[in-house]
Amino acid sequence: MLDVAIIISGSGSNLQALIDACKEENFPARIVKVISNNPDAYGLERAKKSGIETEVINHVDYEERQDFEDALDQSIKDSGAKIICLAGFMRILKGPFVNRWKNRILNIHPSILPAFKGLHTQERALEAGVRFTGCTVHFVSSDLDGGPIILQAITSIDQNDTADTLNAKVLELEHQIYPEALKLVASGRVRVSENRVRTEKTTFANISVINPLISK
């Protein structure tokens, strides 16, 4: 059983998907702590409802980024977590923290990386006129949204889609692939070599996640 700490900034719908997955029988990970940099994040309520320890580590309380990251590091170490999932955490993590947790921080991003790194991904996808959008679970490296990719899922962009409809479609996919990615990592079926993820052959609960051309 792998102990996981989750870091959030907001609503925490991905956190909820991970909480629900961890409740499933034989799921190889459990959430030992939820940390938020935003004291008003709704995700904190979700964690409390499930009896998970929470802590607010607010970046505005620290003058230097390094001090904020050291506080995160200490809190995660204290929790005993061996791996971190960023779930809608809207701060950038830099070198020392990321190096200390190399290939042990997962992030979910609402685009098909390496396209549309950063913010406002669906608006930019619409502007670019691409036909598909989606989401990516990846390990965090010191390049923004740039680490080794674990899983991706896509959905088509239709004529009538707006940023809001796309956000909703993509969020639904996120809730499917984040638990699958955590399961893969926690069960030791993922290794990173030459900045790429190799996964052992596995069967997935939802095949449309793997072959998402058929999902809409």
Give the binding site for ligand GAR (CB under 6 A).
10-14, 87-88, 108-110, 171, 174
Concerning whether 120 is annotated as a catalytic residue, the answer is no
Q: How far is the CB of 10 from ligand GAR (least distance, A)?
A: 4
At its nearest, how many Å lie between ligand GAR and the CB of residue 201? 27
For strands 196-199 and 83-86, give the pairing: unpaired
Apex 174 CA angle, 122 and 88, nearest 5: 75
> For residue 211, what are its two tokens?
């072959």
Catalytically annotated residue among 59, 109, 120, 138? 109
79 or 136: CB nearest ligand GAR: 136
Which of 23/198 has CB closer to ligand GAR?
A: 23
> How buried is 40 (Cβ within 10 angstroms: 0-12 exposed, 13-18 middle, 19+ buried)?
exposed
| Among the listed residues 139, 212, 145, the one whose alpha carbon sits nearest the alpha carbon of residue 181 | 139
Q: How far is the CB of 132 from ligand GAR (least distance, A)?
A: 16
Q: Which is nearer to ligand GAR, 112 or 200 (CB)?
A: 112
Amino acid identity of residue 20, one-letter, is D
89: amino acid identity, one letter: F
Residues acting as catalytic residues: 109
